[in-house]
């Protein structure tokens, strides 16, 4: 097994977190994914100690990861496979992956795939060459909207905007539309970040593990 780190930070943290599931088990998941042409993955959650969620099974190019449960609210990192490899190179983070990671505030994201008949893991730290302010702006507006939505709907039911007083309706509508604008901008930046990764050595990965 070999590892390569483009940055000298967080290597131990990423490796130790992956070892919670086990590198041999992750290797089996990568090989299974390649054979079935189906994505597999899981999330690492923290509540005092770090634990992995159940292994989720998706489709060829799509996967919904199980969310951290109540009390395990912090997403430490994620791992999922990309069974489709082009021109013998391992898959890298897609624009949808990058968007998901930065909105979940994940500390790292790892992709597993088979490259030249070798199962590999490529892990990424969360900057992806994006402006931090764009990510923070979107997440802040999402958080503000969620707080107000819960305040105006204490029972947890969906909000009927027409039933709200005019001042509250205006406030909530403004937050929601501002969130949509910043969210759209973040998706555009995620696409640009993914295109930049293609051109970089190892598709911009900070850590490469040959299994």
Does 117 share its domain with 141? no
Mean pLDDT in each 10-residue stretch from start to end of the chain (211 residues)? 58 88 95 92 89 85 75 80 68 84 88 89 81 85 88 69 84 92 92 84 83 89
Partners of 176 in the beta sheet?
none
The confidence score (pLDDT) of residue 5 equals 57
Number of domains in the chain: 2
Rounded CA separation 37/62 (Å): 11
Does 96 share its domain with 18? yes
Query: 195 in a domain, yes or no?
Result: no
Does 70 share its domain with 142? no
| Domain span including residue 161 | 132-187
Query: 49 in a domain, yes or no?
Result: yes
**Crossing angle between the packed helical segments 166-199 and 95-104, to the nearest 10 degrees:** 130
Strand runs labelled E in the chain:
2-5, 40-47, 49-52, 56-57, 74-81, 108-115, 118-124, 207-210
**Crossing angle between the packed helical segments 11-21 and 23-36, to the nearest 10 degrees:** 70
The confidence score (pLDDT) of residue 204 equals 79
Query: 106 in a domain, yes or no?
Result: yes
Does 136 share its domain with 114? no
Query: 193 in a domain, yes or no?
Result: no
The confidence score (pLDDT) of residue 74 equals 80
Does 109 share its domain with 53? yes
pTM attached to this predicted model: 0.82
């Amino acid at each position: 097994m070999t590892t390569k780190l483009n940055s000298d930070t967080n290597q131990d943290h990423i490796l130790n977190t992956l070892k919670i599931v086990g590198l041999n088990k992750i290797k089996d998941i990568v090989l299974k994914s390649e054979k079935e042409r189906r994505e597999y993955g899981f999330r690492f959650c923290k509540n005092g100690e770090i634990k992995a969620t159940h292994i989720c099974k998706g489709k060829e190019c799509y996967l919904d990861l199980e969310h951290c449960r109540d009390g395990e609210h912090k997403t430490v990192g994620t791992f999922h496979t990309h069974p489709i490899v082009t021109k013998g190179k391992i898959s890298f983070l897609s624009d949808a992956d990058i968007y998901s990671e930065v909105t979940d505030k994940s500390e790292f994201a790892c992709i597993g795939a088979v490259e030249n008949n070798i199962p590999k893991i490529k892990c990424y730290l969360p900057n992806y060459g994006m402006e931090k302010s764009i990510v923070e702006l979107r997440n802040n507006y999402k958080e503000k909207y969620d707080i107000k939505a819960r305040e105006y709907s204490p029972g947890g039911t969906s909000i009927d905007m027409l039933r709200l007083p005019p001042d509250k309706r205006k406030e909530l509508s403004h937050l929601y539309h501002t969130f949509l604008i910043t969210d759209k901008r973040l998706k555009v930046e995620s696409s640009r970040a993914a295109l930049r990764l293609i051109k970089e050595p190892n598709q911009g990965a900070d850590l490469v593990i040959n299994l």
